[in-house]
C-alpha cells in the first residue's frame, strides 16, 4: 500500500514520516510532493491509496488538489493536515471526500488513528469494488462511452485483470494476448485557439473527427483501437498491436486525414513496445509524458518518442514574478505591465527547450495568481466557498500555441499583458462606478446571448476573474453563469418555436447555437423533450 504526503514545508513532511506507524498499517511506500501539481503527477503515476495533504500551498493548493482527486483518483482516501482552524476549509475538505481534518502540530496518536481509519475504509471498499464494477457495467452498457471507459481503465492500470481483458475481447474484439503493443497519445489542448474556436459550441464534434480518422486508418481491432481517455478528456489514445515500427507510418496517415478534416496536424507521444496487457499502463504513462514534455520551441517531427532534457529553465515559474506583476497591474500603465511581463518572458526567449507541460503550468499559475489577487481585493470575503465549476463548457485547455502546435511567445506575451491590465482595472475598481457588476453581466448576457459567448470573454470584458464571477453570479442569481446563459437561450427558443414558419435549424442559430444537433441535445436536457416534440405539443394544444 502507498501513501503520499503533500506539504510545501519539508520539515512538516519529515515530521509526518516519523510519526506514522506505516509498517503496522501495511503502508510500505511513502511518497512526497511539495504542491498540488507535483501531487497530481505522483497520484497519476503511483496511484497511492492514502493521501495526506496540507490546504494552503503555493501553486495548486490543497483545495484544488482535493477537487482533482475527487475526479481523477476517487478511490484514494484523503486526510487533511492543516495549520488553519477554518470552518470553510473543513467544509471544503468534507465536500470533496476528505476523511479527517487534523490541525498542526499533529499528535502521533491522532495521526495514526486517522490513518488506521483511512486504511480500513480503503480495504473495505476494495473488497466490494469488483462487485460494484459488475453492477455498474449494467448501466454502462447503455452509455455511448462504455467502450471508452473500458479502455481508459485499461491504460490507467485499473482494468488489466483476466476478467476485464476478457470483457474487452467480448465487447471490442480485442485480443486476450497480443504479444507486443505500443501506444500513441495526442491532446486536443495542443491545437491553436483559432482551430478550437470552430468547435466551441460542440467540442465533441472535434473529438469525433479525430477518432473517426483514427478508426479509418485502423483496418481491424487486431491492428489497434483508438478511444477518448475519459479521465483526461482532451486526450485521444491509440493502442497498436503487431509490428511496432508500423505505428509512425499509421500516424502519418492519421495526420493526413486530419489535415483534410480539421485543417491541422496533431502531435503524438509514442511509447516503446510493451507486453500486452501487463505493460499497457506503463506504455500509456510513457507516451503521455513524451507528448507533454516535447519541446514546443522547435519545429521537430510530430511524433515524440523521447523526453526532452530540461536545463536552466526549472525555475521559470510565473509565481516567482508575482509581486512585480501585481504592482505593474495596479499601476494601470501599459508600459509598466509590458516591462514586468518582459522581465519574466525575455529569459524564455534565450532557452533552447520549453515543454508543453511547462506552458500548461504557466497558464494555471496565471489563473491562480489573478484569482487570488481579486479575491483578496474583494470588499468582503465570500460567506462560503461556492462550487467553482468549469463554467465555460469547453473541455480543453487553451494554450498559446500556433497552428503548428508550437509556443508563440508573442501570443504568450500578449495574453499576459491583457490579463494583467484587466486585473489591474479590477484591483483599482471603485464601487461607485458600478455597485452591482453581476447585474451588469446579466444585462450584457441578455443583450448578446445570440453571440458565441464564453465565461473567459465575460471575465475579460468586465475585468474580473472567471472564478470570482462563478462564485458571485451564483450567489446573486442562484445559477452559474453558463446555466443562466443556457436557460436564457432555451426560453427564447421556446418562444420562437411557437412560430411554425421558422425552421428549427434557423431557431438554433437565432438563439446562439451554430449546431442544430447540439441545440437539440441541450433543449432535451433542459425540457425533457426535443424542440420538434415541443413544437408538436404546442400544435396539439391549440387544435
- Is-contact 179 243, C-beta < 8 A? no
Task: Quote the pLDDT of residue 391.
Answer: 39
Of 110, 27, 121, 23, the residue nearest 74 (C-alpha): 121
Listed in order, the ranges of the chain carrying CATH 3.30.70.270 are: 143-304
Q: What percent of the chain has pLDDT over 90?
A: 40
Quote the pLDDT of residue 314: 59
Class of the 2-128 domain?
A: alpha beta
pLDDT at 147 over 90: no
Tell me which CATH code domain 483-542 carries: 1.10.10.60
| Contact predicate 116/191, CB 8 Å | no
**pLDDT at residue 140 greater than cutoff 70:** no
* 6 vs 468, residue with greater confidence: 6
The residues of the chain that CATH labels 1.10.10.60 are 483-542
**Integer-rounded Cα radius of gyration of the chain:** 25
DSSP one-letter string for 91-144: HHHHHTTEEEEEESSPPHHHHHHHHHHHHHHHHHHHHHHHHHHHHHHHHHTTST
Could you read off the pLDDT of 412-460 as tens digits, one per residue?
Answer: 999 999 889 888 887 776 544 456 789 989 999 998 888 888 888 888 7
Which pLDDT band, with edges at 50, 70 and 90, does 378 fall under? low
Superfamily for the 143-304 domain? Reverse transcriptase/Diguanylate cyclase domain (3.30.70.270)
CB–CB of 284/182 below 8 Å? no
H-only helix segments in 47-107: 62-72, 87-95
Residues 309-328, mean pLDDT to the nearest whole number: 76
d(CA 286, CA 485): 41
| pLDDT score at 254 | 94
- Residue closest to 369 by CA, chosen among 61, 6, 28, 49: 61
Q: What is the four-CA torsion angle of 46, 318, 82, 79, rounded to 10 degrees?
A: -20
Q: How many C-beta atoms surround the C-beta of residue 145 within 10 A?
A: 12
pLDDT attached to residue 144? 45
| Residues 253, 247: Cα–Cα separation, whole Å | 10
CA distance 250 to 253: 5
Higher pLDDT, 316 or 7: 7
- pLDDT, tens only, 176-197: 776 788 999 999 999 998 898 8
Predicted confidence at residue 131, as pLDDT, reads: 64
The residues of the chain that CATH labels 3.40.50.2300 are 2-128
Give tens-digit pLDDT for 196-213.
888 887 788 888 889 999
* CA–CA dist 60, 322 (Å, integer): 15
* Nearest CA-CA partner of 119 in 31, 39, 197, 24: 24
CA 477 to chain centre: 26
Tens of pLDDT, residue by residue over 223-232, are 889 999 988 8
pLDDT tens per residue across span 320-364: 888 889 888 888 889 999 999 999 998 888 888 899 999 999 988
CA distance 62 to 84: 12
Amino acid at each position: 500500500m502507498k501513501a503520499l504526503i503533500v506539504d510545501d514545508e519539508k520539515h512538516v513532511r519529515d515530521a509526518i514520516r516519523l510519526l506514522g506507524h506505516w509498517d503496522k498499517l501495511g503502508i510500505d511506500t511513502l511518497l512526497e510532493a511539495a504542491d498540488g501539481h507535483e501531487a497530481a503527477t505522483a497520484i497519476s503515476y503511483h496511484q497511492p491509496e492514502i493521501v495526506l495533504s496540507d490546504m494552503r500551498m503555493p501553486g495548486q493548493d490543497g483545495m484544488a488538489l482535493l477537487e482533482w482527486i475527487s475526479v481523477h483518483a476517487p478511490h484514494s482516501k484523503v486526510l487533511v493536515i492543516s495549520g488553519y482552524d477554518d470552518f470553510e476549509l473543513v467544509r471544503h475538505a468534507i465536500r470533496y471526500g476528505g476523511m479527517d481534518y487534523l490541525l498542526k502540530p499533529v499528535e502521533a496518536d491522532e495521526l495514526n488513528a486517522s490513518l488506521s481509519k483511512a486504511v480500513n475504509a480503503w480495504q473495505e471498499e476494495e473488497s466490494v469494488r469488483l462487485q460494484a464494477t459488475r453492477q455498474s457495467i449494467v448501466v454502462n452498457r447503455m452509455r455511448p462511452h462504455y467502450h471508452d471507459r473500458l479502455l481508459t481503465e485499461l491504460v490507467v492500470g485499473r482494468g488489466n485483470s483476466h476478467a476485464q481483458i476478457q470483457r474487452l475481447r467480448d465487447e471490442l474484439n480485442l485480443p486476450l494476448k497480443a504479444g507486443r503493443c505500443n501506444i500513441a497519445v495526442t491532446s486536443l489542448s495542443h491545437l491553436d485557439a483559432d482551430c478550437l474556436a470552430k468547435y466551441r459550441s460542440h467540442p465533441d464534434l472535434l473529438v469525433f473527427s479525430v477518432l473517426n480518422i483514427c478508426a479509418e486508418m485502423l483496418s481491424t481491432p487486431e491492428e489497434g483501437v483508438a478511444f477518448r481517455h475519459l479521465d483526461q478528456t482532451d486526450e485521444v489514445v491509440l493502442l497498436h498491436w503487431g509490428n511496432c515500427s508500423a505505428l509512425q507510418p499509421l500516424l502519418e496517415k492519421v495526420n493526413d486525414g486530419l489535415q483534410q478534416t480539421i485543417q491541422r496536424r496533431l502531435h503524438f507521444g509514442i511509447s516503446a513496445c510493451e507486453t500486452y496487457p501487463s505493460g499497457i499502463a506503463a506504455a500509456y504513462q510513457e507516451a503521455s509524458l513524451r507528448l507533454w514534455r516535447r519541446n514546443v520551441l522547435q519545429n521537430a517531427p510530430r511524433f515524440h518518442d523521447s523526453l526532452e532534457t530540461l536545463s536552466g529553465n526549472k525555475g521559470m515559474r510565473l509565481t516567482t514574478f508575482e509581486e512585480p506583476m501585481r504592482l505593474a497591474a495596479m499601476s494601470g500603465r501599459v508600459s509598466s505591465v509590458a516591462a514586468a511581463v518582459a522581465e519574466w518572458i525575455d529569459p524564455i526567449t534565450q532557452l533552447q527547450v520549453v515543454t508543453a507541460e511547462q506552458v500548461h503550468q504557466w497558464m494555471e499559475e496565471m489563473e491562480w495568481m489573478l484569482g487570488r489577487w481579486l479575491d483578496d481585493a474583494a470588499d468582503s470575503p465570500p460567506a462560503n466557498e461556492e462550487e467553482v465549476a468549469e463554467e465555460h463548457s469547453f473541455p480543453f485547455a487553451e494554450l498559446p500555441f500556433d497552428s503548428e502546435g508550437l509556443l508563440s511567445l508573442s501570443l504568450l506575451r500578449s495574453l499576459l499583458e491583457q490579463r494583467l491590465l484587466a486585473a489591474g482595472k479590477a484591483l483599482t475598481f471603485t464601487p461607485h462606478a458600478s455597485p452591482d457588476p453581476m447585474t451588469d453581466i446579466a444585462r450584457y448576457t441578455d443583450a448578446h446571448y445570440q453571440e458565441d459567448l464564453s465565461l473567459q470573454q465575460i471575465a475579460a470584458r468586465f475585468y474580473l476573474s472567471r472564478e470570482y464571477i462563478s462564485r458571485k453570479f451564483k450567489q446573486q442569481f442562484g445559477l452559474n453563469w453558463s446555466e443562466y446563459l443556457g436557460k436564457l437561450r432555451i426560453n427564447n427558443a421556446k418562444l420562437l418555436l411557437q412560430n411554425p414558419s421558422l425552421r428549427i435549424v434557423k431557431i438554433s442559430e437565432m438563439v446562439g447555437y451554430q449546431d442544430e444537433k447540439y441545440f437539440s441535445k441541450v433543449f432535451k436536457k433542459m425540457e425533457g423533450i426535443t424542440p420538434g416534440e415541443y413544437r408538436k405539443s404546442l400544435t396539439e394544444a391549440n387544435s
